[in-house]
Structure 1
Amino acid sequence: MKLLILNLGSSSIKYQLIKKKQILAKGLIERIGMYGSRIKHTFLKEKIIYKNIYNHFIGLKEINNLLCNCVIINTYEIYAIGHRIVHGGFFFMKPTIISENVKKKIKELFNIAPLHNRINYMGIEISEKIFQKSIQVAVFDTEFHYTIPKKAYLYAIPYEFYLKHYIRSYGFHGISHKYVSKKAIQYLKNKKAKLITMHLGNGSSITAVDSGVSVETSMGFSPNSGLIMGTRSGDIDSNIIFNTLKKGFKIDELIDILNKKSGMLAISGYSDMRDIKKRYDKGDKKAILAYEMYSYRVKKYIGISISVMNGVDALIFTGGIGENDMLMRQLICENLDFFGIKLDNKKNNNLLKNNNVNEIQVKNNKVKILVIKTNEELQISKEILSILNVKK
């Protein structure tokens, strides 16, 4: 039984073809719609294909061609397609087999997650045409956060907004937070561990995980809240929106600005942290400020998470920035000694690449600092097998 997992991000597509936990082929299309887009495809060995990938539709067609040329004879071999869907809203609290009604509900959430749900939906539509015999399954990023208590997920606005319009904090990146928290619990051999999982990438979020359960998270009603991100603003004063509307801005214009023209892009001129790091190393003041602002916001949410759980056993870095940017990890961990968080710079700068889990705290430190490679695709495959009642 072969499962194809599709994970569409705002500027990327990750994919894995999995059979019985074994990855048959995998890949990453990155910088979609930007200069320097490329495909990293791995079957037996990795190859890098430099190609203009103007949109996600072209990306998915390329993935299909690559798989048919190396590991499958035809699309009928793929039993199910797993789709990462960013926002499940009030409708979906567990993985769901996709039907026309499910698609309709996902479309209703476009306005809440404009950068992602529309792209996720497009992935479903294309997959249904290419993989006509495959079962299509939606796995939601919001699912892991439904354990957050009511006192945390409600907003201090009239209750009817929650009852009639389902306005509440939902949280996102749940698939990644769930995967790395399970890995950390297994690694620490402590089911009751208090963890702070930090998924840091083009989209970024922090989750407080107590005994394997999400109890607080930085993202809220939409993926635009919380931390500063590649093109998203993160937390801002709501009156900024009202003030700009009074000055003649249109609603759609503001949505576009806050989701696509803000964050690191607005601060530094670049949305990709790798580009910003190059400018940082050259002493660019905007790049330095971007690093300072990003790490500062992360530190704030670390403090929130510790206070919510009344302690912390491990701090976990994951995601593209969390796993690869040693400078950002250093800046985030600076001046957290009061909480028992002490980074070993030598370990931080020399991760063992073959390790799925790297410890980077100083020797004999009570609070662990872990770098864990996330694998949302593997977690999605587990969710699919669970809902289809198939043995893992």
Structure 2
Amino acid sequence: MSAILVINSGSSSLKYSLIDVEHERELASGLIERIGQETSPVSHTVRRWADGEAAPTMLDATHRGEQPVADHDAAFAVMLEQFAVHGPSLEQHPPVAVGHRVVHGGARFFAPTLIDADVERQIGELSVLAPLHNPANLAGILAAKAVFGDVPHVAVFDTAFHQTLPPAAYTYAIDAELAREHRVRRYGFHGTSHQFVSEAAAAFLGRDLGELRQLVFHLGNGASVTAIDGGRSVETSMGLTPLEGLVMGTRSGDIDPAALVHLSRRAGYSIDDLDALLNTRSGLQGLAGRSDMRDILAGREAGEEAATLAFDVYVHRLRAYAGAYIAQLGGVDVISFTAGVGENAAAVRAESMATLGFAGVEIDPERNASRERGIRRISTDASRVTVLVVPTNEELQIARQTAELL
């Protein structure tokens, strides 16, 4: 059995997954958080698949604890310890490759890429476009190579799926020479999720991916929507950075740039102040003091004015993007919701689709309210547009792309 180890290295976290690529089964996964702090929460989940089962029926065993983890090298040592103590054995399932999530590939990387010294250098150079992500991704790559030095390492970029955007979609209307010099353009993010979900939707419906016009709403703490025509990304809401577009947990999404100039002049906000405002004190957090949609929904149910307004602003933005992207596609065949909010918040799905009857969207309230796991239809049988809930699996997508490259 061939196993691929998938690594998602954050600035203070290490997320990992060991995947049997032949059967597309996750054997184990784990998360090490608060790296560099006094103590780090550690969780490791072992998936036990029933013999002969093709469907994802699993018996999970999760092990949790806390211990000091000084840096990413130490985090990899902890990960190896988790495999050794709780399983599965890496001697019995040795990784044939390591796939790494890298957030920003700029315009240079448009496909899974074998990592060598030059690729490492370029990932580092692109840190100017993703200072919170690429340095951490690179730290994970270097730490993984120190442990798994005898297998190929592959970078899978969040931005790669969006390299098919046409110039009209990725070009900002600013001074062209300045934009070229400083690489200012739309890049898009959540690409592995958008690709996985669009392909899974086509497979679920038994339709040819190449004939479908799709919208995919990836709604988590970070949120984005992508218009996908025949399997190709043609428009997406995130831009130069993951800040643009939809309302998110702590990020503002779209805002008049002049508002920032106004805050600088009138409130004395520095560049760093504005950066912190837009990324950590905005979105649902800024509107209602809570960044988790579950808390917003509970507050709305209780009649809280701030929570109700936050929900309404969130949904208003979703409707606006849905309408705009349907226009860009010239119609839509499939709309999919994924990630934490998209998969679990029935009210968000219902309200964001409520005004799209003109486009052929009709939601079935009972199907939408169902807590059934897995991919499922939430539109009526009569709806001209199929609306789905599709659980995303970015780790599996990274494993697939790593295997395909090898």
Judge same fold: TM > 0.5, yes or no.
Answer: yes
Distance 1:172 1:162, change over 3 A: same
Q: Which amino acid aligns with 2:345?
A: D
Task: Report the Cα offset of residue 275 of structure 1.
Answer: 3.4
- Partners in 1 of 2:286 and 2:11 — Cα distance? 17
Counterpart of 1:315, as a letter, is: I
Aligned twin of 1:250? 270
Give the distance between the partners of 1:269 and 1:37, measured in 2 at CA.
25
Q: Report the alpha carbon displacement of residue 49 of structure 1 after superposing the two structures with TM.
A: 4.3
Report what 1:375 is aligned to.
Answer: 393
Residue 26 of structure 1: which of 21, 25, 28 is its match?
28
Cα shift at 1:54: 9.1
Indicate the residue corresponding to 1:3 in structure 2.
4
Matches within 5 A, 1:249-328: 249-328=269-348
Q: Is the 8 A contact 2:362 2:382 kept in 1?
A: no
Farther-moved stretch of structure 1 (196-205 vs 180-189): 180-189
* Deviation (angstroms), 1:23: 2.3
- For residues 161-176 of structure 1, the aligned pairs below 5 Å read 161-176=178-193
**Match 2:226 to one of 201, 207, 215:** 207
- From 200, 208, 218, the equivalent of 1:183 is 200
Measure the CA separation in 2 of the matches of 1:311 and 1:132.
Answer: 49
Equivalent residues in 2 for 1:76-95 (5 A)? 77-95=94-112
Change (3 A) 1:47 1:11: farther
Asked whether the 8 Å contact 2:249–2:292 carries over to 1, the reply is yes
Distance 1:108 1:237 in 2: 29
Give percent identity, aligned residues only: 37
Q: Which residue of 1 aligns with 2:55?
A: none
2:80 counterpart letter in structure 1: N
Shift of 1:214: 0.8
Distance 1:101 1:257, change over 3 A: farther
- Establish whether residue 67 from structure 1 lines up as the match of residue 70 from structure 2: no
| Aligned 8 A contact 1:76 1:133 in 2 | no
Tell me how far apart the structure 2 counterparts of residues 23 and 76 of structure 1 sit (CA, whole Å): 13
One-letter code aligned to 1:362: T
Distance 1:310 1:219 in 2: 21
Q: Which moved more, 1:51-60 or 1:206-215?
A: 51-60
CA distance in 2, matches of 1:183, 1:62: 34
1:43 aligned onto 2:60: no
- Supply the distance in 1 between the matched residues of 2:216 and 2:250 (Cα, whole angstroms): 21
**Pairing 1:385–2:398 present:** no
Structure 2 CA distance for partners of 1:13 and 1:294, relative to 1, 3 Å: farther
Judge conservation of contact 1:76–1:131 (CA < 8 Å) in 2: no
Coordinate RMSD, CA, aligned: 2.8
From the superposition, tell whether residues 293 and 277 of structure 1 become closer, same or farther in structure 2 (CA, over 3 Å): same
Q: Give 1:97 deviation, angstroms.
A: 1.6
| Distance across 2 between alignment mates of 1:332 and 1:59 | 41
Indicate the residue corresponding to 1:216 in structure 2: 235
Between the aligned partners of 2:4 and 2:213, the Cα distance in structure 1 is 33
Aligned in 2, Cα 1:324/1:54: closer, same or farther, shift over 3 Å? farther
1:74 to partner: Cα distance: 5.1
Partner of residue 119, structure 1: 136
| Distance in 2 between residues matched to 1:184 and 1:11, nearest whole Å | 33
CA distance in 2, matches of 1:16, 1:385: 14
Task: Quote how far apart the aligned CAs of 1:273 are.
Answer: 2.3
Q: Flag the 1:133–1:301 CA change in 2: closer, same or farther, 3 A.
A: same
**TM-score normalised over the length of structure 2:** 0.86
Partner Cα separation in structure 2 for residue 288 and residue 54 of structure 1: 41
Q: Do the aligned partners of 2:339 and 2:392 also contact (CA within 8 Å) in 1?
A: yes
Structure 1: unaligned runs, 5 residues or longer: none
CA pair 195-104 structure 1, distance change in 2 beyond 3 A: same
Per-residue deviation, 1:308: 0.2
Segment of structure 1 superposing worse, 258-267 or 117-126: 117-126
Q: Retained in 2: the 8 A contact 1:314–1:369?
A: yes
CA separation in 2, counterparts of 1:343 and 1:11? 40
Structure 2 unaligned segments of length 5 or more: list them: 49-58
On the 8 A contact 2:189/2:242 being kept in 1, the answer is: yes
Q: Distance in 2 between matches of 1:312 and 1:10?
A: 38
- Conservation of the 8 A alpha-carbon contact between 1:232 and 1:262: yes
Q: Distance in 2 between matches of 1:154 and 1:31?
A: 37
Q: How far apart, in 1, do the equivalents of 2:13 and 2:246 lie?
A: 20
Which of 158, 166, 171 aligns to 1:154? It is 171
User: Hey, what's the Cα distance between the residues in 2 that align with 1:364 and 1:277?
Assistant: 29
* 2:254 paired residue number: 235
CA contact (8 A) 1:83 1:136 kept: yes
Amino acid at match of 1:82: G
Q: Is the 8 A contact 2:28 2:88 kept in 1?
A: no
Deviation at 1:64, TM superposition (A): 3.3
Output the amino acid matched with 1:294: Y
Distance (Å, rounded) in 2 between the aligned partners of 1:333 and 1:240: 30
8 Å CA contact 1:41–1:47 kept in 2: the answer is yes
Query: What is the identity, as a one-letter code, of the residue corresponding to 2:273?
Result: E
Cα separation, partners in 2 of 1:334 and 1:10, compared to 1, 3 Å? farther
Distance 1:297 1:30, change over 3 A: farther
Task: Please give the secondary structure, in 2, of the residue aligned with 1:109.
Answer: helix
